[in-house]
Amino acid sequence: MSGPVFAARFAGKVLVVTGAAQGIGRAVALRAAAEGGKVLLVDRADFVAEVAAEAGDNAAAFNADLESWDGCDAAMRHAAQTFGGIDILINNVGGAIRMRPYAEFEPDQIDAEIRRSLMPTLYCCRAVLPHLATRGGGTIVNVSSNATRGIHRVPYSAAKGGINAITQSLAMELASQNIRVVATAPGGTEAPPRRIPRNAEGDSEAEKAWMSQVVDQVKQSAPMHRYGTIEEQAAPILFLASDEASYITGSILPVAGGDTG
């Protein structure tokens, strides 16, 4: 693991991190474990078990398809059974499958973006609630995106707008129950080549060209004019998840070099 470790901010806490096999979720899970948390890493990719092994003795892996209610419910139950409860849920599963002008999207492709980037968080937020209630409170961190304003991925933008709505409305509903609900809105983030591609069918030449237009737009929109790193995304997620953010709820923190989405 790279990046600084400041303190055992998660000692005594149980975290569930979704989409933890690679990318931002992987970095969040490894650092949470390094800071003393007991972590369930959930992913539909089998190699999430390798990441859990890397995270150490206080981590475990669980395979589930979080685009289904049953997958989300099973993951939360497994975390509670394995570690005795849940304190923190980090809803990280998501990501634009295709980049294309909206006029080029087929109806089934629109549905697929909503299933990938809205439904896992909508279902997992609901599935975790009884477990947080048993603990007398807890924290949900949703990973949104600055792509709520951006080109060539309107269905994904709509899904992430939904994530922002879940965050604000659930925060209002649950504050009296000692449950905080917060989000980060990452901008473009550099990552090593993905073991699991966003689009299992592979990108066409046209999609590669549209992707390049998205990269230009993202860099141009951000005052810092650069992509962030995975560690620059993991750090604010874990700040919001920790008790250091105890007076913050309903907030969506842009982490996008100054692009506010």
Ligand X SMILES: NC(=O)c1ccc[n+]([C@@H]2O[C@H](COP(=O)([O-])OP(=O)(O)OC[C@H]3O[C@@H](n4cnc5c(N)ncnc54)[C@H](O)[C@@H]3O)[C@@H](O)[C@H]2O)c1
Binding site for ligand X (CB under 6 A): 19, 21-25, 43-45, 65-67, 92-95, 116-117, 120, 143, 145, 186, 188-189, 191, 194, 196, 198
**Residue among 134 and 210 whose Cβ is closer to ligand X:** 210
Residue of closest CB approach to ligand X: 23
Least distance (Å) between residue 19 CB and ligand X: 3
Nearer to ligand X, 50 or 133 (CB): 50
Considering beta carbons, is residue 49 or 133 the nearer one to ligand X?
A: 49
Which residue number, 190 or 243, has a Cβ lying nearer to ligand X?
A: 190
For the chain, the three-class secondary structure string (H helix, E strand, C coil) is: CCCCCCCCCCCCCEEEEECCCCHHHHHHHHHHHHCCCEEEEEECCCCHHHHHHHHCCCEEEEECCCCCHHHHHHHHHHHHHHHCCCCEEEECCCCCCCCCCHHHCCHHHHHHHHHHHCHHHHHHHHHHHHHHHHHCCEEEEEECCHHHCCCCCHHHHHHHHHHHHHHHHHHHHHHHHCEEEEEEEECCECCCCCCCCCCCCCCCHHHHHHHHHHHHHHHHHCCCCCCECHHHHHHHHHHHHCHHHCCCCCCEEEECCCCCC
Question: How many C-beta atoms lie closer than 10 Å to residue 61's C-beta?
Answer: 23
Are 169 and 249 a contacting pair, CB within 8 Å? no
Catalytic residue among 102, 123, 156, 227: 156
Tell me how far, at minimum, the Cβ of 43 lies from ligand X, in Å: 4
CB-wise, 143 or 245, nearer to ligand X? 143
We find the least distance from the C-beta atom of residue 198 to ligand X, in angstroms, to be: 5
Kindly state the smallest distance separating residue 158's Cβ from ligand X, in Å. 13
Q: Assess whether 123 carries a catalytic annotation.
A: no
The nearest distance, CB 41 to ligand X, in angstroms, is 10
User: One-letter amino acid identity for 5?
Assistant: V
* Residues labelled catalytic: 156
